[in-house]
Amino acid sequence: MAIDNDDTRRNNPSDERVNLDPAPAMAKGVADEKTTLRRILAECRSGLPAARAARMSALVQSNLIETPGYADATCVVLYAAKDHEVATELIFEHAIASGRRVFYPRIVPGTPHLDLVRVQALAELPPGEFGIREPTGAEIARDADLKRALICVPGVAFGPAGQRLGRGGGYYDRLIATLAPQTVTAGLAYSFQLLDRLPEAPSDRRLGLIVTESAVRGAAGSSPAAGARMDSGG
């Protein structure tokens, strides 16, 4: 008969029962996997010839403009692309011409949060923190402004159910966590950035749409863009 008591365990250290919390190891695994994916995909994106990146960016932006989420939006939140991210200038021009208000993110000094600042001309976007162009204006979006907004989000990689791997600072995850449920979020990507699986942490936030040069993926069941193939979210 096996005896399981304190004396037996003290005499057999190799049989000690250890209660280990797997969470720290799992978190480290997710962080390491994200770091590897960021490095590989950022290198792929940076290696795109400028002319090809411009052509694909134009297609992505055209597809985004054709979505119902854009058609219904009264204001649009864009980002200033860097390192061959999908550009947003064509969306900006269309939004301004159609009477929509446009906002860009600006890091709140000394915090991990973003303000969304109205921009009426691209000249209002000088280089800011981390070399990313940031708005200089004083008009900051209110919660009411964002109820019928389309939020365009950059990323290094995206998943089929709206998962997103960002630049690593967590700024957009914190922003998305504060948005009203009806606010549309869209990741702009090249097709090679859309992966079958992405590592996720509890603080990561998913997007409603993923828009590439060839398709609009509705992670939350959105409608297809004209001329683009529509994939259902997984």
For each of the domains in the chain, give its residue range(s) and CATH number, in order of start.
59-232 (3.40.50.10420)
pTM: 0.77
Residues lower than pLDDT 50 in the chain: 1-27, 220-234
How does pLDDT run across 216-228, given as a tens digit for each residue? 988 743 333 434 4
Q: CA-CA distance, 85 to 154, in Å (whole number)?
A: 7
What pLDDT, in 10s, does the model give residues 87-118?
999 999 999 999 999 999 999 988 989 999 99
